[in-house]
Structure 1
Amino acid sequence: MKEGVTMKRAKWLFVTLSAALVLAACGQGTNEEDVSGAEGADSEETAEEVEDTEDDEADAEEDDAEDALEEEEDAEEATEEEETDGAGEDDSAGEDEAAEEEAVEEDEAQEDDVAVLNSVTYYFSDDQLMETYRVTTDQSVTQDEQGAKEVLEQWIAGPDRDGLMGLVPSNVTVQEVRFADGVAYVSFSGNITEANLGSSGEMMFTEQLAMMMAQFGYEKTQLLIDGEVPGEFLGHMDVSEPFEASASSQYSEY
């Protein structure tokens, strides 16, 4: 009887221990699965993070490449604009130089077209206001309005030979010489009215003035004072109309 009870207890203990071992084994498996599952989840998260990082780096590299390409394109456009501007400036400079050269050539052509008056002849009276004489020089001037103005200015300056004298005060200026309709218009400054010539001197003045303008191809001369036609000149002569030159042969060479 006692042996039977003992056997039952032993069997029960064996069953209990076996069950405990099985439960322990199951619990360990569960723990290992939990650990393994956790490790797997961590690995998956790490892989995702790595993949995200790689994607971010790839995107950043792509953005950098796009930025570099845009900068390169901008630089190329700027270079092209500079080259275009430079070419435009070069073209403009070339056009300006060509225009200047053309203007110079035109001026030279005009100068070549203007005739030259060689051996200018001046007319002066003797120091007694008795006669008018011819004085031929080796001076050359252009046979135009400017050349005529130069001759008259030299005439006012007076002769460089003894025994002759000028009729016009040295402070008188030639304001303008203008050729129009076969007439030489000569304008003097207003102080020419201060000349003290008398009637014979006034006649010599108009004769000499007309003779010098005749060298430029104008047989008639109109006297102007400050650009206006005077009614009379120094109180003796009517100069409201152009006066004509005489023949140069009437005057002796001095």
Structure 2
Amino acid sequence: MNKWISIFLTFTLLLVVSACGQGAGTPNEKETNLGSDEEQYEDQEDVVEDSDQLEEEAIEEKEITDAPTPEESTKDETNETESLDTLNLYFADAELMSIYRVKRDVEYPKDEEGIQKALQLWVAGPVEEGLQGLVPENVIVQSVNIDNDIVFVSFSEELLNVNVGSSGELFITEQIAMVVEQFGYEQVFILINGSEIDTLSGHIDFNEPFTARSPKDFEPYNK
């Protein structure tokens, strides 16, 4: 009987010792697992930081790529054409003594197209009483071209049908030059059907460009 009791106690003692050994190893395993979790978390943080940095670099690169080049900026500025919202037309009085300026509330671009429209409006003549147009109303402004700050205006051949003396011919050239002057150009070369002419009605040389005077030289028409 005592023998079996001894065996039982010995077996129980072995179980207790074994259990204590397993319990002692558990904290090490927990520490190991905890260390692995911390390292994994740090790795994830590094990945997130790297991802954020790559995203920031990609955004910066896109901003640089999308930024307009100096050439594109200049092109955009060039495409933004200024406009003229008030136009002065110039007409002679009935006695061909003076040239007066009259205002038209129109909006034209300050380019070749705008000059062409303005001159065609001048060809149509005045609406004010006491003023007269000196060119036939069927004259067509065919084209306007700018070269070296000189405006080349081509009229249809009907312009040759003007019936004026030297004063009238001078008035025509001055009126054309003054219309063009508002678009930023001081000199205008008058053509017929795209070709140079020697004179319009035999009094003035048309082989050189005409230079505009100051608008202050012409009184506004208030009659």
TM-score range, shorter chain: 0.5 to 0.7
Task: Name the SS of the counterpart of 2:197 in structure 1.
Answer: coil
Spell out the pairing of 1:87-166 with structure 2 (5 A cutoff).
113-166=80-133
The aligned counterpart of 1:235 is: 202
Structure 2 unpaired stretches of 5+? 1-75
The alignment's C-alpha RMSD in Å is 1.4
CA distance in 1: counterparts of 2:197 and 2:120, whole angstroms: 21
The letter of the residue matching 1:248 is: P
The aligned counterpart of 1:178 is: 145
The aligned counterpart of 1:244 is: 211
Question: Is residue 167 of structure 2 the alignment partner of residue 204 of structure 1?
Answer: no
Spell out the pairing of 1:215-234 with structure 2 (5 A cutoff).
215-234=182-201
TM-score by length of 1: 0.56
User: How big is each residue's C-alpha offset from its partner over 1:100-158, in whole Å with a ceiling of 9 and x where there is no partner?
Assistant: xxxxxxxxx68960100121111011112111001122211100010111111110111
- Rg (Cα) greater in structure: 1
CA distance in 2: counterparts of 1:138 and 1:193, whole angstroms: 30
User: How big is each residue's C-alpha offset from its partner over 1:8-29, in whole Å with a ceiling of 9 and x where there is no partner?
Assistant: xxxxxxxxxxxxxxxxxxxxxx
Instruction: Identify which of structures 1 and 2 has the higher relative contact order when contacts are C-alpha pairs closer than 8 Å and 6+ apart.
Output: 2
TM-score by length of 2: 0.63
Aligned length: 146
